[in-house]
Amino acid sequence: MRTVAVVGASLAGLRSVEELRNQGFAGRIVVIGEEVHAPYDRPPLSKAFLAGTLPAEELALSEEDFDAEWRLGVRADRVDPRAGEIHLSTGEVIGADGLVIATGGRPRTLAGTSALSGVHTLRTLDDAVALRADLQAGVRVVVVGAGWIGAEVASTCRSLGLEVTVVEAAFIPMERALGPVLGSLCAELHADHGVDLRLGVGVDSFSHNGSRVTGVLLRDGSHLPADVVVAGIGMEPSTDWLLGSGLPLDNGVLCDTGCVTSIPSVVAVGDVARYRTAEGNHVRHEHWTNASEQPVVAVRNLLAGTTVDSFRPSGYVWSDQYGVRLQVAGETSGVDEVAVIDGSPDDRKFVAEFRRAGLAVGVLAMNNAKLFGRMRRQLAQPPGVTIPAS
């Protein structure tokens, strides 16, 4: 293999470049990234960066260029994997015999808001800069969606002293991911911090003054005055540029257990990759650790020209909101029991175990990193092996 093109210059793309060099690839690497920025960290965009306590310079993910050619501010418009050609928005065509797809995703937008100022999504540094500029003293913020990002934005806005309403169509926030008990705890966190939480109700439409949003009309008929609206309603994997490439697409780039697509010289990593698990399902994760870990296996398989290794997710996710740190590892959905094994949710310091058929398959901790760390390592062990307390 002489040239590898990496499309997407964010976490998964950067880790792929690092891994190519770590695993001894000495050929040409061309990285194509639509954003003008060098790879930066997204998690602080809803936390310290949005709060104004972390400057943009500290978001950089690496100081090194790994002897790669970085084409930033350039989009890959289409790819012909069999011919080994990637067509760029500049008109340049890159010839490559290996391709890493690391194009992540784009946030879903609220219907009927494209022409309205004051309505934001949050995925990129530019999104965060624009949102932060709008968070002036006294503004009223409505966050649509009480998932991880919506909750973090609400928390940061409250820390800035702003009036915040969160609208969530489900009756319990995060119920699908965390179950009803811990989902209800997420609702309590919002309420504890003075957020007006509207559950079980959808958004109908938006009021405006011609150009700027002035409020959100809910399906129950209520109207929430708003100067700023933030959509936290999930993302769509960025696969539009792959249409017509012949690569299998279905809510992401479909790949095998080792992140290899139907073409052995093409792998997919990070938020865009929908890989096959050992059980035969295809899954896609939208979390930092996954995007950081997957490239190790994907690059090994790319360089081998076949799938020699399978990806085993650690399933680690964290979220900082309302002064608490939530950490999750392993599986939390499709379980039959959630048991608090240390501390108490009322004290906002506890550890809960997710069990299936009596076996621990996942763990969630609030403000208890030490026990979480031990249980996370325990989850990674085969049944019967116990990690001693340290």
Ligand X SMILES: Cc1cc2nc3c(=O)[nH]c(=O)nc-3n(C[C@H](O)[C@H](O)[C@H](O)COP(=O)(O)OP(=O)(O)OC[C@H]3O[C@@H](n4cnc5c(N)ncnc54)[C@H](O)[C@@H]3O)c2cc1C
Among 28, 87, 123, 355, binds ligand X (CB under 6 A): 123
Integer CA distances (angstroms), 45 to 58, 72, 123, 151, 312, in order: 11, 20, 8, 13, 28
Nearer to ligand X, 123 or 348 (CB): 123
Size of the site for ligand X (CB under 6 A): 36
d(CA 348, CA 342): 11
* One character per residue 233-262, x = contact with ligand X (rule: CB under 6 A): -----x--x---------------------
Nearer to ligand X, 76 or 174 (CB): 76
Residue span binding ligand X (CB under 6 A) among the ranges 60-68, 92-100, 101-109, 368-376:
101-109
Among 12, 144, 203, 254, binds ligand X (CB under 6 A): 12
Burial of 265 (0-12, 13-18, 19+ CB in 10 A): middle
Say whether residue 122 binds ligand X (CB under 6 A): yes
Integer CA distances (angstroms), 273 to 187, 238, 242, 254, 282, in order: 31, 10, 13, 7, 9
Beta carbons of 341 and 39 less than 8 angstroms apart: no
DSSP H or E run through 373: helix 369-379
* One character per residue 188-207, x = contact with ligand X (rule: CB under 6 A): --------------------
Alpha carbons within 13 A on the beta-carbon side of 369: 6
* One character per residue 265-304, x = contact with ligand X (rule: CB under 6 A): -----xx--------------xxxx-x-------------
Site for ligand X in 333-372 (CB under 6 A): none
Among 7, 125, 174, 361, binds ligand X (CB under 6 A): 7
Residue with tokens 């901790």: 365
Say whether residue 19 binds ligand X (CB under 6 A): no
Q: Which two tokens stand for residue 164?
A: 């915040």
Nearer to ligand X, 12 or 216 (CB): 12
d(CA 152, CA 179): 19
Nearer to ligand X, 217 or 313 (CB): 313
Residue span binding ligand X (CB under 6 A) among the ranges 5-13, 20-28, 306-314, 371-379:
5-13
3-state secondary structure of 143: strand
Burial of 87 (0-12, 13-18, 19+ CB in 10 A): middle
The nearest distance, CB 102 to ligand X, in angstroms, is 5
3-state secondary structure of 300: helix
Nearer to ligand X, 122 or 195 (CB): 122
Among 5, 8, 327, 379, binds ligand X (CB under 6 A): 8
Nearer to ligand X, 162 or 218 (CB): 162
Residue span binding ligand X (CB under 6 A) among the ranges 4-12, 168-176, 195-203, 222-230:
4-12
Site for ligand X in 28-87 (CB under 6 A): 32-35, 42-43, 45-46, 75-76
Integer CA distances (angstroms), 337 to 79, 130, 290, 303, 323, in order: 46, 42, 25, 42, 27
Nearer to ligand X, 122 or 296 (CB): 122
Read off the amino acid at residue 116.
L
Residue with tokens 């006294």: 138
The nearest distance, CB 370 to ligand X, in angstroms, is 19
Residues 310-325 as b/e (b if ≥16 CB within 10 A, e otherwise) read ebebebbbbbbbbebe
Nearer to ligand X, 4 or 12 (CB): 12
Integer CA distances (angstroms), 357 to 272, 273, 336, in order: 32, 29, 7
Site residues, ligand X (CB under 6 A): 7-13, 32-35, 42-43, 45-46, 75-76, 102-105, 122-123, 149, 238, 241, 270-271, 286-289, 291, 317-319
